[in-house]
Amino acid sequence: MRVIDSHTAGEPTRVVIEGGPDLGTGSLKERAARLEADHLDFCASVVLEPRGHDAIVGALLLPPSRDDCAASVIFFNNLQNLGMCGHASIGLGATLAYLDRIGPGRHKIETPVGVVEIQLHDANTVSVTNVESYRYLKDVTVEVEGHGAFTGDVAWGGNWFFLVKDSPVELIPANIGPLTNLTRKIRAALDTKGITGADGAWIDHIELFGPPKDRASDSRNFVLCPGGAYDRSPCGTGCSAKLACLAEDGILEPDREWVQESVIGSTYTISYQWGENGAVVPTVTGQAFVTSDANLIFDVSDPYRLGIRS
Ligand code: PYC
């Protein structure tokens, strides 16, 4: 199985170029559902130890099923599919450029939650124009044992997020352990209270905000991902959810740039326009670097060939 690894603002992506499972025919949404239902062993074996680690997002590259798209892609982690993934879309852009499959300019990419556009500025710099993003619930309060009450918004940015404005814990790398514990507890408190996204969707990403460390930035964040790892980047879909909240609160005007820092200090430059359905259409710009071009080997006598699960 050939994979290309990259990182986007520190957050890793592994694009599966050849050797993925046969998902049959049908819409990309149907094939993504088949990946999640029947091929979780494949997903875990690609992203988990001993070949990877729990922060890696996998991207299964498929031939485009629409004439206007350069590629189709299904994003996945160690637990499930991701509807969209901003950092992995930027990583995919750098990967397709590395493979000479795309040149500078705009390219449409089909994802299970809709068509997104990537713009390759140079070999490493990519903008992603995401699916329409919106705030679903404002000022939801949950009680978190040992930490008190947390109020935040529930928003869609291609994945579901709970966004808390003022983190009580400083957003610095030294606090990644406590931040991970706190956000896991917030997510559990949302689950216990039955707070979900639209149609009962699990809110699988938790995002805490605080002041930036760099004067050139507007904000800093910490993002807990579904599998329990934290996002090293400012999280493309999390930035999209943030833009929806900023727009709906009247804090940021269309086309004005906002610089979002991650907990490790990497940045995305983000902006939005209003979409046709009254939601925001976010654009996230960041840098990705290819780190390896490799063949994964699955030896049938290897007891851990399907990944180490905890
Ligand atoms: O960049 O959208 C993102 C993302 C989601 C999970 C990890 N990164």
236 in contact with ligand 1, CB cutoff 6 A = yes
87 in contact with ligand 1, CB cutoff 6 A = yes
Q: How confident is the model at residue 309 (pLDDT cuts 50, 70, 90)?
A: confident
Q: Say how many Å lie between the CA of residue 57 and the centre of ligand 1.
A: 8
Tokens (6 digits) for 286: 């960041």
Q: How confident is the model at residue 244 (pLDDT cuts 50, 70, 90)?
A: very high
Q: 24-78: per-residue pLDDT in tens?
A: 988 999 999 999 999 999 999 999 999 999 899 999 999 888 899 999 999 999 8
Q: Say how many Å lie between the CA of residue 232 and the centre of ligand 1.
A: 9
Catalytic positions, written as ranges: 85, 235
Tokens (6 digits) for 130: 């995401």
Q: 182-231: per-residue pLDDT in tens?
A: 999 999 999 999 999 999 999 999 999 999 999 999 999 999 999 899 99
197 in contact with ligand 1, CB cutoff 6 A = no
Check: CB of residue 307 under 8 Å from CB of residue 48. Answer: yes
Q: CA distances (Å), 268 to each of 70, 86, 242, 284, in order? A: 24, 10, 12, 6
Mutate to test the pocket of ligand 1, among 78, 204, 235 (most ligand atoms within 8 A of CB): 235
Residue with CA closest to ligand 1 atom 5: 85
User: Which candidate, 185, 172, 179, 160, places its Cα nearest to that of 230?
Assistant: 179
Report the atom number in ligand 1 closest to the C-alpha of 238: 2
Peptide bond into 12 cis (omega under 30): no
